Amino acid sequence: MIKAKNIIHHYGQDIALDGVSLYINRGEFVSLVGESGSGKSTLLSILSTLLKPSGGEVVIDGKKIDEISNIDRFRKEYIGFVFQFHYLIPYLSIYENVQLASISKNKDEIFLLLERLGIADIANKSADAISGGQRQRASIARAVINRPKILFADEPTGNLDMKNSQKVFEMLREFGNEGMTIVTATHDKELAKISDRVISLKDGQIE
């Protein structure tokens, strides 16, 4: 589903990724682990088409990212992203945050998803008036509302306690079981065991 060949990325003089190659199968749930600064976020951004690498090639579902003519349409169909910093719009409600991202704008569909993620009862609360765990669930809802083929989640359990972190990973696991390809980054090696495969990064390389 995702093929990365010899990905290199520099930020100015800094080398963030130094020749990363990997293959992720359709429906696979992969966790990237590694210390802070090892390149997890950079790799997720590149694999998800949000960042253009300094070198190397990413191919998704047989399509070279560089050669995709309508990248917006491609992203709508393929990519969901849960950011390390959730980026919910603070003054909108949870429902409105998800609705904004939804293509169909179907109210029942949005509520079903919020129910599934356990946040339907707080749908009308504004995003700055809920807990960290609820915020993470809301950003997952926003990322999957259009049923992307691939869900990228960068530290989706950052700042959460063990119980809530476990729940978030179980939710990702469920989407994975339904055929969505999941690529996540986490500091937590224990948590990563819920996924099908763990890829460990160190100083911008796969260990």
Angle at 72 between CA 27 and CA 186, to 5 degrees: 45
- How many positions of this chain bind Mg ion (CB under 5 A)? 2
Which partner from the list ligand ATP, Mg ion, none does 178 bind, CB cut-off 5 to 8 Å by kind?
Answer: none
List the single partner that 184 binds among Mg ion, ligand ATP, none, CB under 5 to 8 Å by kind.
none
Tokens 């990237």 sit at which residue?
A: 32
Shortest Å, Cβ 140 to ligand ATP: 18
> Which single residue is written with the structure tokens 């993620």?
117
Q: How far is the CB of 69 from ligand ATP (least distance, A)?
A: 28
Q: Tokens for 125?
A: 């609360």
C-beta closer to ligand ATP: residue 95 or 169: 169
Least distance in angstroms from the C-beta of 15 to ligand ATP: 8
39 binds, among ligand ATP, Mg ion, none (CB under 5 to 8 A by kind): ligand ATP
* 179 interacts with, out of Mg ion, ligand ATP, none, CB within 5 to 8 A per kind: none
Contact indicator for 57, 66 with CB cutoff of 8 Å: yes
Which residue, 101 or 206, has its beta carbon nearer to ligand ATP? 206
In the region spanning residues 36 to 65, those forming contacts with Mg ion, defined by CB under 5 A, are 40-41
Query: Residues for the chain: how many in total?
Result: 207
What's the sign of the alpha-carbon dihedral 54, 55, 61, 63? positive
Residue 170, classified by CB atoms within 10 Å of its CB into exposed (0-12), middle (13-18) or buried (19+), is exposed
Residues near Mg ion (CB under 5 A) are 40-41
